[in-house]
Structure formats: structure tokens, C-alpha cells
Amino acid sequence: MRGLATAKGQVKVLKQYFGKKRLRRITYADIRDFRAARLQTKSERTDNNLSIASVNRELSTLRRFRDAVAVLAGARKAGLI
């Protein structure tokens, strides 16, 4: 991850697209649709569409959230929290 501002920007994009949808309810089809939509989005800095690398970094942020939720759920189930 590049920095806090980058992470906040990625979270903002994810929130705008997925809204209040729970992480558990995000399907592969949702992710595929997100990727397609983001690849058609113009970059704020350039007039070009976002690169696949930029979109993959946003999806990496989503993946980290999903993994963190899974760890917390496992800890809760084991009675650790």
C-alpha cells in the first residue's frame, strides 16, 4: 500500500460502488462487475481509463478487509474476543 491517502481513496471507491452490502454478500460476479466498471472510469489525473493495476490495488484493499473480518469472526467463535 502506498499511503494513508491512497487507502482512504480506495475505501471511498469501494463504499461508493458496494454501498451497504456486507462483505460476506459480495460475490465473484459483483467483483467482476466492479472491475469492468472501474476499467471504464477515467482517471482523475489523466484523461485515460484506469489501469488494471489500479483496479487490482482497489480489489486488494477489499480482500484485506474480507480477510480481517474472517480473522475476527474466527476469534469470536473461539471465544478469544
Q: What is the mean pLDDT of each run of 10 residues along the chain (81 residues)?
A: 85 96 94 97 92 96 93 92 86
According to the model, what pLDDT value does residue 81 have? 86
- Hey, what's the cell of 25? 454478500
Range of the domain at 13: 4-77
Find the Cα–Cα–Cα–Cα dihedral 49, 54, 55, 58, rounded to 10°: -140
Distances (CA, A) of 39 to 7, 56, 61, 68: 19, 10, 17, 26
Q: Where are the alpha helices (DSSP H) in 1-81?
A: 4-18, 28-39, 52-77
According to the model, what pLDDT value does residue 1 have? 53
Which three-class secondary structure state does DSSP give residue 25? helix
According to the model, what pLDDT value does residue 14 have? 97
According to the model, what pLDDT value does residue 45 have? 87
According to the model, what pLDDT value does residue 72 have? 93
According to the model, what pLDDT value does residue 44 have? 85
Number of compact structural domains in the chain: 1
